[in-house]
Amino acid sequence: MTLNKRNFLASTLALAAALGGLGSAHAQSALDGVMKGKLIKIAVPTDFPPYGFVGIDLKPQGLDVDTANLIAAKLGVKVELVPVTSANRIPYLQTKKADLVISTLGKNPEREKVIDFTAAYSPFFQAVYGPKGTALADFNGLGGKSVAVTRGAIEDQELTKIAPANTDIKRFEDNNATVSAFVSGQTQFIATGVSVADNMIKRNPALGAEYKLLLKDSPNFIGVAKGEDALRTKVNEIIASAKKAGELDAMAKKWLGRPAGNLPE
């Protein structure tokens, strides 16, 4: 090999290494960007009490909002709350409209293919609810029945797997529309999270709705973009510290009426 060829090869390898380094730096850039800009953008729900909703002062509040504020405070940065729905929360993370998603996000293999998750920060579960006078012993009983569900939510995914093929699953774009469909009699049942159901039942006592079938125990995790390991590790440290200090239990008691308990890491 001639000297020129050796120099060319060396230069090519050096350039490739430099580009690879840039790629690695870019993949880990979210935390650096947050700390340099002193701002973190966190996607939260605004139609999902008590996890995220708009109060009488027109400001977002709820367990997810408190968690977002806690993380920002521990990082020493300001927080920009980005309202999302079940359908767009993951795309917002993928397109960098948000650095984190704290929006009652359950972890499953399909989602793990496109985003990463921190440790769990709060409890949650999904179930099927219906009128007290309507018997529903198991999921086979949903055959030929109509069920309202929020498109893209974990209860949509779980119900689709479990329900008989002739179940009439009616999908709506947000939780308010899903609840309205059931309350107005457009569907016979509703599949949703316990928080949404509790709020619905309290607001509509004459409806006589009750818990019927458990769909899934699904603790809430914080979503992080793929490759952002530095940010994920830092948030995990904050969650672990808040768990040990009793802050997670305190927030869960405030909004859910029970402590966070033993959450998966």
Q: How many CA atoms lie within 13 A of 47 on its CB side?
A: 15
Q: Which residues of the chain have pLDDT under 70?
A: 1-28
- Structure tokens given for 199: 């709020």
Identify the residue whose tokens are 């049942």. 189
pLDDT of 95? 94
pLDDT of 67? 98
Cα 17 to Cα 6: distance, rounded to the nearest angstrom: 16
Angstrom distances, CA of residue 30 to CA of 6, 49, 225, 227: 38, 29, 9, 10
Cα 139 to Cα 164: distance, rounded to the nearest angstrom: 7
Rounded to two decimals, what is the model's pTM? 0.70
Residue 188: helix, strand or coil by DSSP? coil
Residue 173: helix, strand or coil by DSSP? coil
Q: What are 209-226's pLDDT values in tens digits? A: 999 998 988 899 999 999
Q: Give helix then strand counts, H and E, for the chain.
A: 10, 13
Angstrom distances, CA of residue 133 to CA of 129, 138, 208, 212: 12, 15, 8, 11
What's the residue count for the chain?
Answer: 265
Cα 120 to Cα 142: distance, rounded to the nearest angstrom: 31
pLDDT of 55? 87
Q: Which residues contact 37 (CB under 8 A, 6 or more apart)?
A: 77
Q: What are 223-262's pLDDT values in tens digits? A: 999 999 999 999 999 999 999 999 999 999 998 878 898 8
Asked if 179 contacts 162 with a C-beta cutoff of 8 angstroms, the reply is: no
Instruction: Count CB atoms within 10 A of the CB of residue 112.
Output: 11
Q: What are phi and psi of 249, to 5 degrees?
A: -65, -40
How does DSSP classify residue 263?
A: -
Q: In DSSP terms, which residues pair with 172 in a beta bridge? A: 150
Residue 198: helix, strand or coil by DSSP? helix
